[in-house]
Amino acid sequence: MITATQGVTRTSRCERCGGELVSDVGQFIERGQLAWSIEGQCQACRNAWCQMDTGPAPEEIRQALLTTHGPARLRLADKGASIVPVLRALREMHHLSLGEARLMAAELNEVGLIGTSVEMAYLAEGLRARFVTVTITSSVT
Ligand SMILES: [Zn+2]
């Protein structure tokens, strides 16, 4: 089951024949896992590929999504709430040290974390699973 998804279609020049290459890059959450994909197909020759993996997306994909759709901002809804479940969720999802998780939690509590909407939805799912209430807004306000 896919619970969040975002994609961009781009065109570039085919390395093999110079024709028009159409590629779809995207990020999504499938069965609670953050994942990404890139699919390309030349309109003129047989050059085509498809790549997919779980985990953080390559920077190129993130930038394409951020440029097209804009970043999302995730914040803790209740600033007075306990930070313990937040630290647990962050460490589990991002394999962070306690120090790194503390920095990330502080950001969540203050300015908010910025990322693609799928990355923020993924974090929000993990936090909500631990009964942490969060809000996601478009960061351009
Ligand atoms: Zn081609």
pLDDT in tens, 83-129: 999 999 999 988 899 999 999 999 999 999 999 999 999 999 999 99
Q: If pLDDT is split at 50, 70 and 90, which confidence band does 1 have?
A: confident
| Ligand 1 mean position, distance from CA 36 (Å) | 24
| Ligand 1 mean position, distance from CA 12 (Å) | 10
pLDDT for res 16: 95
pLDDT at 141 over 80: no
Q: If pLDDT is split at 50, 70 and 90, which confidence band does 80 have?
A: confident
| Ligand 1 mean position, distance from CA 22 (Å) | 10
* Average of per-residue pLDDT across 55-62: 94
25-49: pLDDT as tens digits: 999 999 989 999 999 999 999 999 9
| Ligand 1 mean position, distance from CA 41 (Å) | 8
Q: What is the SS3 assignment for 68?
A: helix
Burial per residue of 61-94, b for 16 or more beta-carbon CB atoms within 10 angstroms, e otherwise: bbebbbeeeebbbbbbeeeeeebeebbebbbebe
Between residues 94 and 6, the one the model is more confident about: 6
| Ligand 1 mean position, distance from CA 26 (Å) | 22
| Ligand 1 mean position, distance from CA 101 (Å) | 45
Q: Whole-angstrom Cα distance, residue 85 to residue 76? A: 12
Q: If pLDDT is split at 50, 70 and 90, which confidence band does 140 have?
A: low
